[in-house]
Structure 1
Amino acid sequence: MTMTVWDRPEPPTPPVPLDRERIVAAAVALADEGGLEAVSLRKVAARLGAGPMRLYGYIATKEELLDLMLDEVQAEILPEEQSGDWRAALGTLAHRTRQATLRHLWLADLLGGRPTLGPNGLAVTEARLASLHGLADIDTVMRAVETVSAYCTGAIRREVANLRAERATGLSKRDWQRAHGPHVTRMLATGRFPALAEAVHDGSDVDAEASFTTGLDWVLDAVAAKIAPPPG
């Protein structure tokens, strides 16, 4: 039987205090500053003033470290109280996932992968499933949760990609639009892109939060249609 990092006991406390909690906090701080590429066991050890080999008594691989980091920030997703209304509960979890990711942009790179098995990750999954418990059969509940999660992952990753582009180029969204405006205007003037032209000229420009909220509402509308009892 495979023993996960959560099942494996920590070594005895050495003269210089070191534990998984301190290691994970240092790794999260490094990732917040420079992304996941800034995280390694060697760099974490250096931040803690410990030798790299010391860390291997607590964490065997970088993959285990990423699992622990992900579980650490998933605690930020869980609300203090669970709403009794399924729509409010799923909506709260979705918005808190977005907010946690905006605080830790590297989280976007880990969303949507294999199920997380840490206590906080399991609690988030439990909260999502529990919000719909008893309202439909389990397969419908699972597909509904997967659909909401897939929307959130895609929307959040798109927003984070734009934020990273702004930081990399130094151009805000409006600066980028102004810089590329002449090219877009010439392309639209060809008449080859009428639907895009209508969107550019007549569509409303909303911020990322409003866009996320609108899309989430539409997805939740679809879930509501699936769990609603058939007409009598």
Structure 2
Amino acid sequence: MTTATSSDRSKEQRPPGGRVRLDRQTIIATGLELAAQPGTTSISVRELGARLGADPTAIYRHFRNKEHLMQALLDEVIGRSVAAVTASPEHWRDRLRQLAESTLDLFAAYPAIGVEAIVLTTHGPGELDAIEFMLDAFSRAGLSGDDLVRHYALLASHVLSSAAGIARGRSERGWNADATSPWLEGPILADPRTYPLISSFGAQLSALEDRELFLLGVEAVIQSAERTARADA
């Protein structure tokens, strides 16, 4: 059994006149394929058009501009992050942990898309699902009103920005998407007379790993939600 490549699919979509029939989902799927290529840290509309077997300008018939395209790609990835959660709603802590981990894993798989989370809001169904998901989890934790909204915003900010940064860093250094990488690159060289604490904790600082710190931040938000809910009870 053989698997059709994106170029094969493009040929299948090409009518007798030589024009390629594009739709949003085909463009998004091919954009994900491009973003998954090792070393890809940005999406080129020209290269995307070449993969689709179409003039790049044809993409703009479905997306107003490149930002609109990147919003759609990011929304697809965020939606997949939510869909990857398997814990039941009453297990709100596990659901938040799973959402955070799936977001990091998918951003690492598609770093050129994940990095856009730092600057883009999609307003799409994937993002709305993620917002509703986190609000529901913190509601089940016993939070309400401003406390609920602030904990949602804190977790969303941490997960999106940290996952995007980790994914971009791994990609630029050529590390595997699923590899754990050091938080600091190389040992910290500092004069102990000027920086005694850095010298004292140098080994521990060098041992820090990006995924470990990412998940530690998630746990800090979960614990804050628990403390706040108890204080309000």
TM-score range normalised by the length of the shorter chain: 0.7 to 0.9
Aligned-residue identity in percent:
22
Equivalent position SS for 1:71: helix
Matches within 5 A, 1:139-158: 139-158=146-165
Equivalent position SS for 1:45: helix
1:100 matched to which residue of 2? 106
Is the 2:138–2:148 contact (alpha carbons within 8 Å) kept by the matching residues of 1?
A: yes
Following TM superposition, by how much is the alpha carbon of 1:152 offset from its aligned partner in structure 2, in angstroms?
Answer: 2.0
TM-score, normalising length: structure 2: 0.75
Q: Which moved more, 1:138-147 or 1:99-108?
A: 99-108
- The verdict on how the C-alpha distance between 1:106 and 1:227 changes in structure 2, with shifts beyond 3 A counting, is farther
Following TM superposition, by how much is the alpha carbon of 1:29 offset from its aligned partner in structure 2, in angstroms?
Answer: 2.1
TM-score, normalising length: structure 1: 0.75
Corresponding residue to 2:174 among 167, 175, 178: 167
Tell me, yes or no, if structure 1 residue 228 matches structure 2 residue 218.
Answer: no
Following TM superposition, by how much is the alpha carbon of 1:203 offset from its aligned partner in structure 2, in angstroms?
Answer: 5.6
Query: How many residue pairs were aligned?
Result: 207
Is the 2:81–2:106 contact (alpha carbons within 8 Å) kept by the matching residues of 1?
A: yes
Following TM superposition, by how much is the alpha carbon of 1:21 offset from its aligned partner in structure 2, in angstroms?
Answer: 0.8
1:70 matched to which residue of 2? 74
Partners of 2:206 and 2:56 in 1: CA distance: 53
Following TM superposition, by how much is the alpha carbon of 1:97 offset from its aligned partner in structure 2, in angstroms?
Answer: 1.0
Unmatched runs of 5 consecutive residues or more in structure 1: 1-12
Is the 1:31–1:39 contact (alpha carbons within 8 Å) kept by the matching residues of 2?
A: no
Is the 1:30–1:39 contact (alpha carbons within 8 Å) kept by the matching residues of 2?
A: no
Corresponding residue to 1:188 among 191, 198, 201: 191
Partners of 1:158 and 1:132 in 2: CA distance: 25
Is the 1:90–1:128 contact (alpha carbons within 8 Å) kept by the matching residues of 2?
A: yes
Partners of 2:49 and 2:92 in 1: CA distance: 43
1:10 matched to which residue of 2? none
Moved over 6 A (4+): none
Matches within 5 A, 1:1-232: 15=15, 16-33=20-37, 35=40, 37-40=42-45, 42-78=46-82, 79-80=85-86, 82-133=88-139, 135-167=142-174, 177=186, 184=189, 187-189=190-192, 191-201=193-203, 205-230=207-232
Q: Which moved more, 1:202-211 or 1:19-28?
A: 202-211
Partners of 1:196 and 1:51 in 2: CA distance: 54
Following TM superposition, by how much is the alpha carbon of 1:154 offset from its aligned partner in structure 2, in angstroms?
Answer: 4.0
CA RMSD of aligned residues (A): 2.9
Greater relative CO (CA pairs within 8 A, separation 6+):
2
